[in-house]
Amino acid sequence: MAQTTNVAHLLKRLGDHAHRRLAVLLEPLGLRPRHLGLLALVEEAPMAQLDLARAVGVAPSVVVDMLDELDALGAVRRVRDRADRRRQLVELTDAGRALHRKANARLADVETEMIAPLSPSAANALRKALTTLAAQL
């Protein structure tokens, strides 16, 4: 059967598994996988919401919801931009920084779990290949 060995199909199956697994591990933190991209961006520097939406590739209305959730966790703060009072600069709180660190540890856990059956060199080759493929997206 073509599907079981086709790389595209394998990537989809494994990617979905990784996503479900990450959702389970993040749940105790009150986070979901989709929050991680936002946290990573805001960790670097405060950012306007529409810029976040563009960077993450998701609709602005969805970013509003996600930020509401992160706000409820005390992980981010919306600060009105005084230069342009339409914009909200989203910045990470100290609690948000700690939360992001924990979330990244859970993400690392998923990787560790998943690559467990591979030899170190095979795991390395996998990471390298995936990184190469992701670079062309």
Partner DNA sequence: TATTGTTATACTCTATAACTATA
Partner DNA sequence: TATAGTTATAGAGTATAACAATA
Give dist(CA 116, CA 103) in Å, integer.
20
In the beta sheet, which residues pair with residue 91? 77
Encoded tokens for 84: 């342009």
| Look-up of token digits 């342009």 | 84
109 scored as a contact of DNA (CB under 7 A):
no
If the CB atoms of residues 74 and 127 are measured against DNA, the closer one turns out to be 74
DSSP 107-122: HHHHHHHHHTTS-HHH
Among 42, 88, 103, 106, interactor with DNA by CB under 7 A: 88
Positions touching a copy of itself (CB under 8 A) are 1-19, 21-22, 33, 36-37, 40, 104, 107-108, 110-111, 114-115, 117-118, 122-123, 125-137
Contact partner, 60, from a copy of itself, DNA, none, Cβ < 5-8 Å per class: DNA
Encoded tokens for 45: 């520097």
Encoded tokens for 19: 């996503």
Output the smallest distance, CB 60 to DNA, in A: 4
Encoded tokens for 26: 């993040």
Q: Given the rule CB under 7 A, which residues bind DNA?
A: 32, 34, 48-51, 57-62, 64-65, 67-68, 78, 84-89
